[in-house]
Amino acid sequence: MEISKSYIINFKGYNFSSHVDMDLLENIENFETRDDDVFIITYPKSGTVWAQQLLSLIYFEEHRNGTENLETIYRVPFFEYSRYQIDIENRPSPRLFASHIPYYLAPKNLKNKKTKVIYIYRNPKDVLVSYFYFSNWVKVHEPTDTIEHYMEKFLDGKVVGSLWFDHIRGWYEHKHDFNILFMMYEDMKKDLRSSVLKMCSFLQKELSEEDMDAVVNQATFENMKSLPQANYTNIIKSQVGMRHQDGHFMRKGTIGDWKHHLTVEQSERFDRIFQRKMKGVPLEFIWD
Ligand code: PPS
């Protein structure tokens, strides 16, 4: 299936959205990381904004106690996309980033194994469904008429982020090159507090019980959905643009929504490809 080239820029074999910062991409491998930078890495629709909100809450007291009225995206800017005039080079440490880059485009410095990387993954059937709705809603992605057609694109890697299997496999198989923690969306959903504890332990951040309560409470789906700063509503309205008014970035936030969208045949076809492509990758998955 062909994709409209105008939505996607392919750089070194990986599909970026066409509003990517090309200057940055050209120099991405030489980007000077700091030892105390933290990178959230995800395939799209796997819990990026959730992790951005969590890191903002963990690192910034003002964010936690609500004394700042700042979009989460300013606290944890996207690495390869618009940084909204944030002066990254002069930003005080710790700098926090979110990114969808594949392992082979990571800044070389990340391999010093000091800079921390948190890789969040989600079961790919839910990623597919989330991405289908998102792409039909926001103008920067190519819309698709049916789930069947979207599944063809997704399984051909003809979407921003390229092939899901390559993204996760690449990062997993090169995990020894990085100081990386793998976290699963479904674990976060089932037990957010334990996931935050795990994150904090990796980040070497110790929070009081009270602060931990504040982090967990402000990162629930319901609370993030009602907080425009945490859920991209402002940015999507003012800068990204929508095709219709019925969409939400915080759409459902559940595990297993794919069951309401994929037929048995589609699901089985997906499973067969999953078995083949994920052979030898021992990561755990939760499907419902
Ligand atoms: S993006 O566009 O790549 O940055 O999208 P991303 O943030 O990775 O993924 C969006 C999906 O994550 C869900 N989400 C959450 N789920 C549960 N709890 C919380 N707090 C949360 N925050 C975001 C969001 O609802 C999208 O999933 P779907 O299935 O579409 O609802």
* Span of 14-28, 43-57, 82-96, 101-115 with lowest mean pLDDT: 82-96
Q: Are 116 and 183 in contact (CB under 8 A)?
A: no
Which of 106, 243, 254 minimizes the C-alpha distance to 171? 106
Atom of ligand 1 nearest to the CA of 250: 25
Tell me if 115 is assigned to some domain: yes
> pTM for the full model?
0.96
Residue range of the domain that includes 251: 13-277
For residue range 115-172, what is the model confidence (pLDDT) as tens digits?
A: 999 999 999 999 999 999 999 999 999 999 999 999 999 999 999 999 999 999 999 9
The answer to whether residue 1 is domain-embedded is no
Strands 38-42, 14-17: pairing is: unpaired
Note whether residue 212 is domain-resident.
yes
Domain contains 70: yes
100 is catalytic: yes
- 185-210, pLDDT tens digit by residue? 999 999 999 999 999 999 999 999 99
Q: Whose CA is nearest to atom 5 of ligand 1?
A: 45
Count of structural domains within the chain: 1
> Any idea what the CATH number is for the domain that residue 124 is in?
3.40.50.300
Catalytic residue (choose from 63, 100, 141, 167):
100
CB 10 within 8 A of CB 4: no
Is the pLDDT at 174 greater than 90? The verdict is yes
Instruction: Specify if 90 maps to a domain.
Output: yes
In a domain, 4, yes or no: no
Q: How far apart are the CA of 177 and the centre of ligand 1, in A?
A: 28
- Report the 3 state secondary structure along 162-187: CCHHHHHHHHHHCHHHCEEEEEEHHH
Residue 78 per-residue DSSP state: B
Q: What is the mean pLDDT of the chain?
A: 94
Atom in ligand 1 nearest the alpha carbon of residue 98? 4
For residue 168, give the nearest of 208, 258, 157 by alpha carbon: 157
Residue 283 lies in a domain: no
Ligand 1 residue neighbourhood (C-beta within 6 Å): 42, 44-50, 126, 130, 133, 189, 219-221, 224, 250-253, 257
Give the containing element (helix H, strand E) for 99.
strand 96-99
Cis amide linkage into residue 94, ω under 30° from 0 = yes
Indicate the pLDDT class of residue 19, thresholds 50, 70 and 90: confident
pLDDT for position 1: 46
Q: Is 147 contained in some domain?
A: yes
Query: Tell me, what amino acid is at 99?
Result: S
